[in-house]
Structure 1
């Protein structure tokens, strides 16, 4: 046996190590801090390292630097300031600290702690006594607050290249306004926060948690004062209030996010803008026209636009006459005059109403049919949601407990959760498009033809439609607040 070879007993121990680790992981419960940390790291590394490696594997240009670029990617994602490690520190660290706090509290109940007179013991006794005075929910909050602070610190220590804010810089999904003066730097200009999307997510979750705590405390009072009948009434009331408050929190969050997406996308994280844009599948030129309507730089009534070719170029790209997007020719009001304009321009199915033709708003989705557009948008959103939610639900289990997927009793609830989430998202998208079509084409614009399409297509139209229909799907799915 050479000096470099390990002894036979060490070889056997090394071969048996994976089995021993696997048996240990299967022996500890799913809510153990180690299990939570492993699941969090597995999911986080798949979400961060996977997209980072895709360009390297598919693009020859990305592979030009070879191993240097690969080492940079792996060092960034696998390092202590990477997404996976920071998320594990935040989620798994909170569970670990909570376990430590509980152990210390149990230790404080031991009589021999009172006989410990050393300086270290005295300080430790004070800490344990303080923890014992806290409620379990408060200890949980403290543990997660400390671990979250560590995670945020790791996120912000990650080096990022500065973002240019010069006059030539344009916001994502926001075409430049020709002839308009450069915008002044705002509070959100410059280096964007890399934790803004997580902040929005946690804010919504915190609002939901606070509302649930308020409901629970109020119903506990009713249960104490009402006997058996009071307990049943309190449970029904708790269920009803939970549903309504969940819907209210979702509506308030979605309304603000959708308003910012339409009119101030720079206030949202880029990931939010990209995600909403992908699901909505709307042409950026339509969004630019909506923003011009809000600022008064586009007006049906005045036949004026700061970008005259904005919607006309969209019309040409879709294969329609450029006049269909010419604001100088579009009718601002409904009635017989609008019908005459449409017949002259060759637009069908829009008699009696003004505004941009539905063919341009729908783009290549469905032509001028609003019902077909709603159905097609919902189907596309459902397919996109399945492609996203299926890995999110399956991957953590596949990486940590793969044998669970072989049991039908466990697999069916997972698939039902995926279908529920996808159905929720597709319903949300369909509701928004249905509200848009009902407002500007099918119902309201026909009932009130004397109201200008500056109103129907302005910020009292599209954004409010998003606000109104945001609460509808929320009532059917209380688990998708974020």
Structure 2
């Protein structure tokens, strides 16, 4: 092709293809960023096991099939990325149209419509301009419309994909976890707006007379002092909230771990599989614990229907009754010949969890930076701080696992069961015994994390803890009442977050935890996909 032909081709492309606006708040820019980020969170965990399957020649054919289904599911108009883009990008577009309509009305105020002009459009502009709405109310209203379209689109896509999957996938609403996540984040935003003092924006100085300029200078000095005072007050209040975050995490994690052993159906299926992967648990243990709780299996009275549940277990309790240590420990320390050593069990579980947690928290810490500020990782200081944060979070999760099992052993073997030998192991292995003690002990690991991450982890576990206390009719994907309640919660929560992001960004000091929370979904979804 000649040079003239290339120039004509470029000129044609410039006319056909729209230019991308430079304004980062433009709806097009917002929609593109939202789609790219949402697609990475939804498609990334699903592609990881497929990519690893291509390494095996036996699994390549099935891997291609899974790849096609996954791409079709995530890239459809009703996929997660598209639905979220409709909610966020659609709200930006509606707000942009509203603002332009009001600005146009202000430009034609006092001008009579001429013959042949767009009288209906001018009337609509005047009507919008006459509405007694503040900018915050306008933003919230357009967010309501966009979020409504987004949740209907998302539920349609998930219902369509669930028809081709297992039947138990429809037991709970497929959007329940996302809805609870948004509810928790919106409540956090509301609480933060009440706790934090709002910092006044700095106004631009126009050309003023000498006396007015002096008054303006004094006013700016006062505002600067107010901003510094507000900053100090907010720092103190945030330190106080870190203690509340730690307590909230402790309560929620205790509830989640207790439900994992006794009521796993209340937790997301991917979450249960993920905890199973970290726990290295003998499958007979939770079954025995649930039978003891239901009083269908007892150390005192025995059980006719479940007598063979533990018939292959060899007791090694050294004068203490209850389930054998070998069974509870899950064979973690067999290679070291320390099957009955509770201290070694906790330590080895912690070391094993450290290696598994490192694979989890590496993407949690690095992916948000790679998606938003990848150049900052070139700096040695930034890279080192991110690496240390990864190791700190890894130590947190490893100690979480170790403390849980150490609390179990201290209650049923090492300390409490020996201090109170007259208490039956129907209690120690029951719902209010050793497993409850371990569930309460593991939450203390949150103090290993730094203050900011404590809040993120509290907001991460809170939706799952809330799910465990929901009534069955609301959690299940059945009936118009449950769908209506969930849709209203989704719409109001999403609208609140989007409105706060525009008009009260200081109430979202932990808004990055929204992305971190989605990154935390990666290991769960990866386990579910595999």
TM-score, normalised to structure 2, is 0.64
Deviations for 1:79-99, whole angstroms, at most 9, x for unmatched residues?
Answer: 22334434x427xx4266257
Structure 2 counterpart of 1:8 = 6
Q: Is residue 204–residue 249 contact of structure 1 (8 Å, CA) maintained in 2? A: no
Pick aligned residue for 1:94 from 74, 88, 95: 88
- Say yes or no: does 1:85 pair with 2:62: no
- Deviation of residue 196 (structure 1)? 3.1
The 1:279/1:27 distance shift into structure 2, 3 A limit, reads: farther
- Deviation of residue 356 (structure 1)? 1.6
Pick aligned residue for 1:112 from 83, 103, 107: 107
Structure 2 counterpart of 1:331 = none
- Say yes or no: does 1:405 pair with 2:404: no
Pick aligned residue for 2:328 from 337, 361, 367: 361
Structure 2 counterpart of 1:260 = 259
Q: Distance in 1 between matches of 2:26 and 2:77?
A: 25
Pick aligned residue for 1:205 from 154, 179, 185: 185
Pick aligned residue for 1:160 from 140, 145, 162: 162
The 1:361/1:152 distance shift into structure 2, 3 A limit, reads: same
Q: Which stretch shifts more, 287-296 or 430-439?
A: 430-439
Pick aligned residue for 1:192 from 167, 172, 181: 172
The 1:294/1:28 distance shift into structure 2, 3 A limit, reads: same
- Deviation of residue 290 (structure 1)? 0.7
Q: Distance in 2 between matches of 1:216 and 1:376?
A: 43
Q: Distance in 1 between matches of 2:65 and 2:228?
A: 70
Q: Distance in 2 between matches of 1:137 and 1:7?
A: 48
Structure 2 counterpart of 1:469 = 441
- Deviation of residue 417 (structure 1)? 3.2
TM-score, normalised to structure 1, is 0.69
- Deviation of residue 306 (structure 1)? 3.4
Give the unaligned 5+ runs of structure 2. 114-118, 199-225, 334-338, 461-530
- Deviation of residue 468 (structure 1)? 2.0
- Deviation of residue 442 (structure 1)? 1.5
- Say yes or no: does 1:454 pair with 2:426: yes
Structure 1 counterpart of 2:466 = none
Q: Give RMSD over aligned pairs.
A: 4.4
Does 1 or 2 have the higher relative contact order (CA < 8 Å, sep 6+)?
2
Structure 1 counterpart of 2:527 = none
Q: Distance in 1 between matches of 2:296 and 2:96?
A: 61
Q: Is residue 440–residue 456 contact of structure 1 (8 Å, CA) maintained in 2? A: yes
Question: Counterparts in 2 of 1:237-248, with a 5 A limit?
Answer: 238-248=237-247
Q: Is residue 204–residue 253 contact of structure 1 (8 Å, CA) maintained in 2? A: no
Which structure shows the bigger proportion of residues in helix conformation? Answer: 2
Deviations for 1:155-185, whole angstroms, at most 9, x for unmatched residues?
Answer: 43432237777xxxxx9xxxxxxxxxxxxxx
Pick aligned residue for 1:371 from 326, 338, 343: 343
- Deviation of residue 456 (structure 1)? 0.9
The 1:261/1:412 distance shift into structure 2, 3 A limit, reads: same
Q: Distance in 2 between matches of 1:242 and 1:399?
A: 29
Question: Counterparts in 2 of 1:357-436, with a 5 A limit?
Answer: 357-366=324-333, 367-395=339-367, 397-398=369-370, 402-436=374-408
Number of residue-to-residue matches in the alignment: 411
The 1:368/1:417 distance shift into structure 2, 3 A limit, reads: same
Structure 1 counterpart of 2:509 = none
- Say yes or no: does 1:72 pair with 2:69: yes
Q: Distance in 1 between matches of 2:57 and 2:68?
A: 17
- Deviation of residue 242 (structure 1)? 1.0
The 1:407/1:61 distance shift into structure 2, 3 A limit, reads: closer
Deviations for 1:305-359, whole angstroms, at most 9, x for unmatched residues?
Answer: 632222234x3xxxxx4xx2xxxxxxxxxxxxxxxxxxxxxx3xx4442212222
Q: Distance in 1 between matches of 2:255 and 2:132?
A: 41
- Deviation of residue 449 (structure 1)? 1.1
The 1:98/1:419 distance shift into structure 2, 3 A limit, reads: farther
Question: Counterparts in 2 of 1:103-182, with a 5 A limit?
Answer: 104=98, 108=102, 111-112=106-107, 114-115=109-110, 118-124=119-125, 126-127=127-128, 129=131, 132=134, 134=136, 142=144, 145-146=147-148, 149-150=151-152, 152-161=154-163
Q: Which stretch shifts more, 249-258 or 50-59?
A: 50-59
- Deviation of residue 70 (structure 1)? 4.8
Q: Is residue 197–residue 271 contact of structure 1 (8 Å, CA) maintained in 2? A: no
Q: Is residue 98–residue 139 contact of structure 1 (8 Å, CA) maintained in 2? A: no
Structure 2 counterpart of 1:250 = 249
Q: Is residue 353–residue 445 contact of structure 1 (8 Å, CA) maintained in 2? A: yes
Deviations for 1:276-318, whole angstroms, at most 9, x for unmatched residues?
Answer: 11112211110111111110111112133632222234x3xxx
Q: SS in structure 1 opposite 2:456?
A: coil
The 1:266/1:407 distance shift into structure 2, 3 A limit, reads: same
The 1:371/1:62 distance shift into structure 2, 3 A limit, reads: same
Q: Distance in 2 between matches of 1:417 and 1:137?
A: 36
Q: Distance in 2 between matches of 1:14 and 1:395?
A: 38
